[in-house]
Amino acid sequence: MQLQEFFDKPHLLPNIPEVVQDLIATFNDPDPDIFRIIDDLSRDPVLSAKVLRLANSSRFGGVREIASVKEASIRLGLERLRTLVIASGLISATTGLPGIDLKKFWENSFLTAELCRQLAVSAGLPAEQQFTCGMLHDIGLLILVVSHPKEADDIMALTSRQGRVKAEQAVLGFTSAEIGAELARRWQFPLTVVNGLKHQFSPLNGDFSPEAALVYLSTWLVEQGGGADARPEWSENLAMTLGVQLRKGDEPPPSWPEQVAKKVGLDWPALVSAQEAVARDGSPFLMAV
Tens of pLDDT, residue by residue over 68-88, are: 888 888 877 888 888 888 888
Q: Which long-range contacts (CB under 8 A, 24 or more apart) does 248-255 make?
A: 248/272, 248/273
Helices (H), 43-101: 45-55, 69-93
Q: Write down which residue in 49, 74, 93 finishes a domain.
A: 93
* DSSP summary character for residue 256: S
Are 172 and 151 in contact, with CB atoms under 8 Å apart? yes
Are 275 and 246 in contact, with CB atoms under 8 Å apart? yes
Q: Write down which residue in 93, 115, 134 finishes a domain.
A: 93
Instruction: Report pLDDT for 230.
Output: 35
Q: Mean pLDDT, to the nearest integer, of 251-267? A: 92
Q: Write down which residue in 29, 58, 93 finishes a domain.
A: 93
Considering the domain architecture, whether residues 83 and 107 belong to the same structural domain is answered as: no
Taking the CA atoms of residue 211, residue 213, residue 219 and residue 223 in that order, the dihedral angle to the nearest 10 degrees is -170
Tens of pLDDT, residue by residue over 138-153, are: 999 999 999 999 999 9
- Amino acid letter at 78? L
Buried b or exposed e, range 28-56, using 16+ CB within 10 angstroms: eeeebeeeebbebbeebeebbebbbebbb
pTM of the complete model: 0.87
If one counts the domains in the chain, the total is: 2
* DSSP summary character for residue 253: P
Instruction: Report pLDDT for 243.
Output: 43
In a domain, 135, yes or no: yes
* pLDDT above 60 (res 236): no
Q: Which domain holds residue 39?
A: 7-93
Tens of pLDDT, residue by residue over 17-39, are: 888 888 888 887 777 788 888 88
**Which residue from 45, 63, 57, 122 is spatially nearest to 83, judged by alpha carbons?**
57
Considering the domain architecture, whether residues 81 and 118 belong to the same structural domain is answered as: no
- Choice between 112 and 44, residue whose per-residue pLDDT is larger: 112
Instruction: Report pLDDT for 228.
Output: 42
